[in-house]
Amino acid sequence: MSSNRDALLKRLRDEAVMIRRGLWRAFHNGGSGHVGGSSSAADMLSALYFHHLRLRPAEPDWPDRDRFVLSKGHANGGLVAALARAGFFPEDELDTFYGFESLLGMHPDIKCPGVEMSTGGLGHGLSIGLGMALGARLQAKEFRTIVMLGDGELQEGSNWEAAMHAAHLRLAELTAIVDYNKVQQSDHVGTLLGLEPLADKWRAFGWEVREIDGHDMEQIIDALDALPFVAEKPSLLVAHTVKGKGVGFAEDTYTWHMNMVTDEVYAEALAELGEPS
Cα 162 to its chain centre, rounded Å, is: 18
Contact status, residue 180 vs residue 239, Cβ threshold 8 Å: yes
Between 124 and 245, CB nearer to other proteins: 124
Least CB distance to other proteins at residue 62 (A): 13
Contact 143, 54 (CB under 8 A): yes
**Using CB atoms within 10 A of its CB, is residue 193 exposed (0-12), middle (13-18) or buried (19+)?**
exposed
Of 22 and 125, the one with the shorter C-beta distance to other proteins is 125
How many Cβ atoms sit within 10 Å of the Cβ of residue 62? 13
Task: Give least dist CB 263 to other proteins, A.
Answer: 35
Looking only at the bridges linking them, the beta strands covering 145-150 and 174-180 are parallel
Q: Name which of 134 and 195 has its Cβ closer to other proteins.
A: 134
AA identity, residue 169 = L
Do 181 and 238 meet the contact criterion of CB atoms below 8 Å apart? no
Rounded-to-integer distance, Cα 189 and Cα 206, Å: 24
Binding site for other proteins (CB under 8 A): 110, 116-121, 123-136, 138-139, 157-158, 161-162, 164-165
In the complex, the smallest distance separating the C-beta of residue 240 from other proteins, rounded to whole angstroms, is 27
- Please list the alpha-helical segments (H only) found in the chain: 2-30, 35-40, 42-47, 76-86, 125-138, 158-168, 189-193, 198-205, 217-225, 263-273
Please state the closest distance from residue 201 (CB atom) to other proteins, in A.
17
Can you tell me the distance from the alpha carbon of 259 to that of 236, in angstroms, rounded to the nearest whole number?
30
Identity of the residue, 162 or 183, whose beta carbon is nearer to other proteins in the bound complex: 162
Q: Which of 232, 223, 62, 66 is nearest to 136 (CA)?
A: 66
Least spacing, CB of residue 178 vs other proteins, in Å: 17
Closest C-alpha among 153, 52, 47 to residue 107? 153
Neighbours of 92 (CB within 10 A): 9
Which C-beta is closer to other proteins: that of 15 or that of 109? 109
Min CB(179)–other proteins separation in Å: 19
Report the residue number, 1 or 138, with the smaller CB distance to other proteins.
Answer: 138
Closer to other proteins at the Cβ: 161 or 251? 161
Smallest distance, other proteins to C-beta of residue 107, A: 10
Least separation in angstroms between CB 43 and other proteins: 27
Q: Which residue's CB is nearer to other proteins, number 35 or number 166?
A: 166
